[in-house]
Chains A and B, each alone.
Chain A
Amino acid sequence: MEQPFRAGIFAVNGQYVVLLTSHCKNCGQGFFPRRQHCLKCGAATRETESGPAGRLFSFTTVYMPTLHFKPPYSVGLIELGDGLRVFSQIAKLPDREFTVGMEMEARPRILWSGDGLAASGFEFIPV
């Protein structure tokens, strides 16, 4: 049985994923995950969606196990069109090395599973 790994974080839009974000109505600061009030000026925010496109701001391949992932796996910070930087799993394509500035897009992916439950989420893949 599939279930989002965390509620209110992302939405699947066909083949792509958009991230559920907020932007301040007053000063324009963006937030991910969503929040009702701006951390900079305190004003109310409006709900927005960001992505699926972004650029790879930084990346690393991890060679030790963590909570849900066996090594090796790759993660990075992706800078979305609106300037927000989000941390995400990233897919390593066999013939392409990661480079800073690389164009990426968010796609659905099962992040981990166990006990009959699959945690659905997203990863960014080089375009």
Chain B
Amino acid sequence: MRDVVIIGVGQSQFGKFPEKQTLDLGREAVWAALKDANVAPRYIQEAFTARLYVDQVTGEVLLRDIGISGIEMVNVENACAGGGTAVRSLWKDIAYGLCDVGLAVGLESMTRGPFAGKIITPGEDDLAGQLGGAIPVDFALIARRLMHTRGATREDFAQISVKAHRAGALNPMAQYQKELTLEEVLHSRVICDPITLLECCPNTDGAAAVVLCAAELASRFVDHPIKILASVLRSGSYAFEQADLTSFEVGKKAALAAYEMAGVGPGDLDVIEVHDAFAPEELVHYEDLGLCAHGDALALLRSHDTELGGRCPVNPSGGLLSLGHPPSASGVRNICEIALQLRGHAGARQVPGAKLGLAQMIGGFAAGLEAGACCIHILGR
């Protein structure tokens, strides 16, 4: 097994673009990543494309107009963990010598998809879906348990959104680039109590891409390769295996495996990006990633250590809350963010001296499972 590095990152603008074709957003991201990597289309040997609301052969058609054809291409779906899954799948093939240079892309158009303007509900076959379940419902139930077991308040949840938007205001690619006050977040329309509108990620269209290559070849292309020190994907445990909604078994397992693979601990991390589709869940991820002891997530939040400028910034990009959340793109975008942070290219939202970072995504909600999948990458320079 050999080392794999990120040599190029790119993303489209994230926002609502119902007039733009999803594949055009994807192409924006792919061109940006190829240019960043100094890699011409003909050097790409494999491509993995993640998309949730999908047409057939989405990657093949996406890359047709870039000038990439005839290579091995795989289309990937793992809900919000799809983008990370695409990166991991490419990582595996390069690490194990099946190819040297490849592309992983995640793209999504929510405004042109089946849930435009709506909350995402499971299909008719899903028992919880039939009984009024939906993704924001799942997170509202988690939030209520955080209130009951941890003493989390509505103000704590709102503060997570305020933190995200303060960072997002510094990110030119974000859907929302405006700071919000605690009052604005708290008094925005309730979606699923206690979660308010400004504590939910918006419907967003966007794409992100990375170019990976074998570490030994990186100097042919760039002088700032970012190493992938860990790449882990695990599927969710049964709901009956979850002691409480305040911790994901899969989140903990994936984190342990990632730290072991990278040979680091959570205390070594300089910068972290997590799935914050709904503000309250950030508290769960703090604990599952070992950023604090089990039960101490609120203390960590209230310490301000996870803000930009704090000891371990979480979501310096602005997170899904301000970037927006095109499900399959977010997992690639947050890996791009960590890479930019480690290169020192994160502009106004730079975490000074960042050397080690972690990008996590959790996704997929179905009756009987705690979640679909959790994907974690640890990057270093």
Instruction: Point out the residue from A30, A58, A75 that lies within 8 Å of B240, measured CB to CB.
Output: A30
Nearest residue (CB) in A for B129 is A67
User: CA separation between A61 and B124, bound complex, in Å?
Assistant: 21
Contact B240 A29 (CB under 8 A): yes
**Which chain A residues lie closer than 8 Å to B121 at the CB level?**
66-67
Interface of A is mostly: strand
Chain A 54-77 near chain B by CB (<8 Å), digits 1 or 0: 000111111111111100010111
Flag whether A96 is at the interface (Cβ < 8 A).
Answer: no
Contact A87 B144 (CB under 8 A): no
Flag whether B245 is at the interface (Cβ < 8 A).
Answer: yes
Looking at A31, A58, A60, A65, which has the most chain B CB atoms within 10 Å of its CB? A60
Looking at B128, B137, B194, which has the most chain A CB atoms within 10 Å of its CB? B137
Contact A60 B192 (CB under 8 A): yes
Known: A62-B192, A64-B119, A67-B121. A5 touches B144 (CB 8 A): no
**Which chain A residues lie closer than 8 Å to B134 at the CB level?**
62, 64, 66
Instruction: Point out the residue from A65, A77, A87 that lies within 8 Å of B127, measured CB to CB.
Output: A87
Known: A59-B141, A60-B137. A33 touches B132 (CB 8 A): no
Contact B119 A73 (CB under 8 A): no
Q: How many residues of B contact A (CB 8 A)?
A: 33
Flag whether A120 is at the interface (Cβ < 8 A).
Answer: no
Contact A69 B240 (CB under 8 A): no
Contact B131 A75 (CB under 8 A): yes
Chain A 1-41 near chain B by CB (<8 Å), digits 1 or 0: 00001100100000000000000000001110100000100
User: CA separation between A6 and B127, bound complex, in Å?
Assistant: 9
Known: A6-B127, A63-B190, A87-B367. A77 touches B133 (CB 8 A): no
Instruction: Point out the residue from A6, A31, A73, A84 that lies within 8 Å of B132, measured CB to CB.
Output: A73
Flag whether A85 is at the interface (Cβ < 8 A).
Answer: yes
The minimal Cβ–Cβ distance linking B182 to chain A, given in whole angstroms, is: 21
Chain A 89-106 near chain B by CB (<8 Å), digits 1 or 0: 100000000001000000
Contact A6 B245 (CB under 8 A): no
B127-162 contacts to A, CB under 8 A, are: 127-134, 136-137, 140-145, 148
**Which chain A residues lie closer than 8 Å to B43 at the CB level?**
none
12 contacts between A and B (CB under 8 A): A5-B130, A29-B240, A57-B145, A61-B190, A62-B140, A66-B137, A67-B121, A67-B130, A87-B127, A87-B128, A88-B131, A100-B145
B-side residues, CB < 8 A to A, are: 118-119, 121, 124, 127-134, 136-137, 140-145, 148, 189-195, 238-240, 245, 367
**Beyond A5-B130, A64-B119, 5 additional pairs, beta carbon < 8 A:** A66-B137, A84-B240, A85-B240, A100-B148, A111-B130
A-side residues, CB < 8 A to B, are: 5-6, 9, 29-31, 33, 39, 57-69, 73, 75-77, 84-85, 87-89, 100, 111, 121
